[in-house]
Structure 1
Amino acid sequence: MIPPMSEKANGLNLDRKRLDLALQAARLGEFEWDMVRGVFVVSDRMAAITGLPAGETPVRDAEEIQQLVHPDDRDALSEKIQQGLRTEGRYEAEYRLRPGPNGEITWLRAAGIQVLNAKGEVTSICGVVQNITDRRVEEDQRRTLMAEVDHRVKNVLAAVQSLAYQTAKRTTSLESFLSNFSGRLKSMGSANELLTAARWRGAGIAHLAAAELGGIAPGQTRWEGPELFLTPRAANALSLALHELATNAVKFGALSTDTGRVDVRWTRLRGGGFELIWNESGGPPVSVPGHKGFGSTLLSQVTGRELNGEVVPEFRASGVRVRVTAGAQTLVDRPDNVPDAPAVRVFETTPATNRPTDLRGSRVLIVEDAVLLALELETGLSDAGAEVVGPAYELAEAMALLDGHIDAAVLDANLNGLSVHPVAEALAARGIPFVFATGYGDTGGAPLGFDAPIIRKPYDVTQVAAAVSALLHAA
């Protein structure tokens, strides 16, 4: 029961002013359903929040008030209010008002309480409402985004599974499988990084070419063409195609010698879409391959279909030439967020040197919060002869290991939500070289502003070992 007001007039006026200020600060509006007089009262503040008319509106029962509510929410709201009033004499609920004249939807959060007379009879229900439309829209967008992320993750996992299966079918040794699969996985990761930086609105052909060619055979590769952006599906397809062509060029084609060159040029087609020409020259003589591997199958059967076009290879004696055409639906407008060109200082799956990695006599710290990755790094570095310090899975654990002797380190940029910056800073202060092995898409340079090599996830552990070896030899 609400006790009767007995304060003095001056005190009551002061309290009302304070209440008005509090309601205004909280952006709340008041209402009352006076059952004795049969009216529903909407304050000016509530009218401003909801668009309902201010003042008194005659009502006979709760059903008339329910007509103000969105039809889809009426039953649930009615049940929640009745249960709350029956058990506690009050209620709280979130619901939508009926659509406005232009179909607009307003979400409200309401809280009400019963007012009783001296006999304990309910005479009215009064309460407050708050406009929560922005919050509900944000929650809906978040749910939609999470559903989209879930969809994309499942697609990526399915693609990785298929890639692993198809690669395994066409390789005869574990070493060959790991090399081929890791390279293809890295290509997918590069495209993913570019798409993420642009909020999955598209990726530029120039960026894809730079990601695949920028770190191999410096001075022997060139790419040129107008600024064109691809859909996520087309970007992944072209990235894999460029990777297969680059891998083949390094192993057997123009990039297998110091005198060879690869030129990649693309143009926009008049009817929409684009044409890309991959041209090799200066390498060993070329003949039509007698064996068709997964790379050839990917180019002939997958790339063309994914790009709504075709891939036509020519095995000229002077060098391989490949013509890739794509349909208009593969192109998108320039995204609002376009990343910088990928950094060239990235260790690629194919090392720039054939010198075997030798880490014997060196102590290498591993800082990585993903246990499986840390174990894989530990195995790879140990196989190269290093004595592994750690692995450290937490920031505090990593900091504690810095007191011992360390020759080099492999750092993940983020450890369970905490930046690895304190570890990198301490290593830099002691002159200990380190490599970032990270999944973060900072294409503009090394994370956290340090001048350190970057290895993007997913990676082959041999890349990490080669990077650490290069650092130790340079020191």
Structure 2
Amino acid sequence: MTQGDRGHSEEHRRLERALEVAGLGEFEWDMTAGLFVVSPRMAAITGLPAGPMPAKGTRALEPFIHPDDLEAFRAQKDSQRPAGGQYEFEFRHIRPDDGRVVWVRVASVLSRDADGRPQSATGIVEDITQRKLEEDQRQTMMAELDHRVKNVLATVQSLAIQTARRTTSLEGFLQAFGGRLKAMGSANELLTAARWRGAAIDHLAAAELGALAPGQTAWEGPELFLTPRAANALALGLHELAANAVKFGALSVETGRVNLSWTRRPDGGFELIWTESGGPTVTPPTRRGFGSTLLEQVTGRELNGQTTIDYRPSGVQARLRAGAAAVAPRPDTPPAAPTVRIAETVATSSRPANLRGARVLIVEDAVLLAMELELGLSDAGAKVIGPAYELEEAMALLDQPIDAAVLDANLNGHSVMPVAEALAARKVPFVFATGYGEAAGAPGGFDAPVIRKPYDVTQVAAAVAELLMVNTPHP
């Protein structure tokens, strides 16, 4: 064997190894002899027998193409003809050995004689079935996401309209509507943690009651998971009951108490009972508000059951019966219970936060939210620094005196962690205002309060005030 032969042999072995590692099969199409040669690697991918087989004129690949893809293949081939003899196709192929359908990518290049007539084609074949499956899954997920987003927007629009019709002031509307949005946000956070397979009743109760009145609320019942639709409905229902209890009922005084319990029903559904005690004497309402309508009609119907409210003098009792269709299968790996953070407590004090003179940095990439934060913190007396909408803007503002900061966790795809680390190094406290549902606590592991979007700006101001312990005007 000559030196040239040995070099050619080594080059051939390297090519063989490269094709094997890449998962590619190769073929040769001799147009002069009318033969199509399938390599062993292509045979493993396509199920075709390895070796030469008769080529059917200029349509050598067509017998291997799924009938539903044949016309598209021909059109694609015609469109690629001016490209100079290089072709690339993707189509489904029915394996002749076991009947399985696989997606393949075929790429080839033509060799021509001196007169420009095609003589042969050399190409590779790749199994892209997994890639196509992932693409289909992504498209399905995007369609489902689009559907959910439109449903959420439609629900928010309906909540806004119904709330506006039943409130007589802008302040009342903002308080009621904001609370309902927060309830929806909590439910969606729990559903996201379980990949939208469902949410546990005790997690919904913890999200609504856990930080509302520590020591005055309790909940118990068997492990039960609700469908996404039922979870959203129950979250809104619990919020209406809690808001009423805070304003007028048991949670409006320190001696009051709320007990929530649920049991399974023989038909596969469940019964949930909300009981208030120790609060002011209850009298039935003189007018019917949207909260009552939502509880008795919307929540009951969405849970395939019914809701009844008993305005007993000793305390409100609400009884909700849900059908089996509201209950979801238990996830293989149930998500952890939500972590209750101080900053997520619903403020019940009528006294506004005092941030007079405090220099507060706002880092938020959503312009409308940043404007709302700026206005709300300014109304509380703060001197706002920023807002910074990008990471670079935020970093550039760190060279001036800052007493506290409100940080969005994600700034147009960039983590806010460099800003948080710089503030932490200077011992400047900060609050995270984020749409991410981090079950483990604050982003980056920081010991910082977290306020979940959607939020009330007064809640943010209260959290900042608590961090600074601002009880008197800032010097």
Q: TM-score, normalised by structure 1?
A: 0.94
Q: 2:73 aligns with which of 73, 77, 100?
A: 77
Matches of 2:227 and 2:258, distance apart in 1: 25
Matches of 1:273 and 1:285, distance apart in 2: 33
Q: 2:429 aligns with which of 433, 447, 453?
A: 433
Q: Which amino acid aligns with 1:89?
A: G
| Pair 287,48 (structure 1): closer, same or farther in 2 beyond 3 Å | same
Q: 1:111 aligns with which of 107, 113, 117?
A: 107
Q: Which residue of 2 aligns with 1:271?
A: 267
Matches of 1:207 and 1:309, distance apart in 2: 21
Q: Structure 1 residue 59 and structure 2 residue 55: aligned?
A: yes
Q: Which residue of 1 aligns with 2:468?
A: 472
What CA RMSD, in Å, does the superposition of the two structures yield over aligned residues? 2.0
Q: Which residue of 2 aligns with 1:175?
A: 171
Q: What does 1:341-420 align with in structure 2 at a 5 Å threshold? A: 341-348=337-344, 350-420=346-416
Q: Name the SS for the 1:344 alignment partner.
A: coil
State the shift of 1:255 in Å: 0.6
Matches of 1:352 and 1:454, distance apart in 2: 18
Q: Structure 1 residue 190 and structure 2 residue 189: aligned?
A: no
Q: 1:214 aligns with which of 188, 210, 217?
A: 210
Q: Name the SS for the 2:251 alignment partner.
A: helix
Matches of 2:304 and 2:38, distance apart in 1: 59
Q: Which amino acid aligns with 1:137?
A: L
Matches of 2:82 and 2:427, distance apart in 1: 71
Q: Structure 1 residue 453 and structure 2 residue 453: aligned?
A: no
State the shift of 1:420 in Å: 1.4
State the shift of 1:443 in Å: 2.5
Q: Which amino acid aligns with 1:355?
A: R
Matches of 2:9 and 2:115, distance apart in 1: 28
Matches of 1:306 and 1:474, distance apart in 2: 44
State the shift of 1:100 in Å: 6.5
Q: Which residue of 1 aligns with 2:155?
A: 159
Q: Name the SS for the 2:400 alignment partner.
A: coil
State the shift of 1:86 in Å: 4.9
Q: Name the SS for the 1:402 alignment partner.
A: helix
Matches of 1:202 and 1:168, distance apart in 2: 31
Matches of 2:83 and 2:441, distance apart in 1: 61
Matches of 1:185 and 1:431, distance apart in 2: 33
State the shift of 1:64 in Å: 6.2
| Pair 120,420 (structure 1): closer, same or farther in 2 beyond 3 Å | closer
Q: Which amino acid aligns with 1:272?
A: G
Q: 1:248 aligns with which of 244, 250, 255?
A: 244
Q: Name the SS for the 1:212 alignment partner.
A: helix
The percent of aligned pairs where both chains have the same amino acid is: 65
Contact 2:344 2:450 in 1 (8 A): no
Contact 1:279 1:319 in 2 (8 A): yes
State the shift of 1:118 in Å: 5.0
State the shift of 1:102 in Å: 6.7
Matches of 1:362 and 1:434, distance apart in 2: 13
Q: Structure 1 residue 332 and structure 2 residue 328: aligned?
A: yes
State the shift of 1:220 in Å: 0.4
Q: Which amino acid aligns with 1:187?
A: A
Q: Which residue of 2 aligns with 1:149?
A: 145
Q: Name the SS for the 1:106 alignment partner.
A: strand
Matches of 2:326 and 2:109, distance apart in 1: 58
| Pair 375,274 (structure 1): closer, same or farther in 2 beyond 3 Å | same
Q: Structure 1 residue 18 and structure 2 residue 17: aligned?
A: no
Contact 1:92 1:110 in 2 (8 A): yes
Q: Which residue of 2 aligns with 1:199?
A: 195
The unaligned stretches of length 5 or more in structure 1 are: 1-6
Matches of 1:307 and 1:48, distance apart in 2: 53
| Pair 407,319 (structure 1): closer, same or farther in 2 beyond 3 Å | same
Q: Which residue of 2 aligns with 1:4?
A: none
Q: Structure 1 residue 95 and structure 2 residue 95: aligned?
A: no
> How many equivalent residue pairs?
470
Q: Which residue of 2 aligns with 1:300?
A: 296
The unaligned stretches of length 5 or more in structure 2 are: none
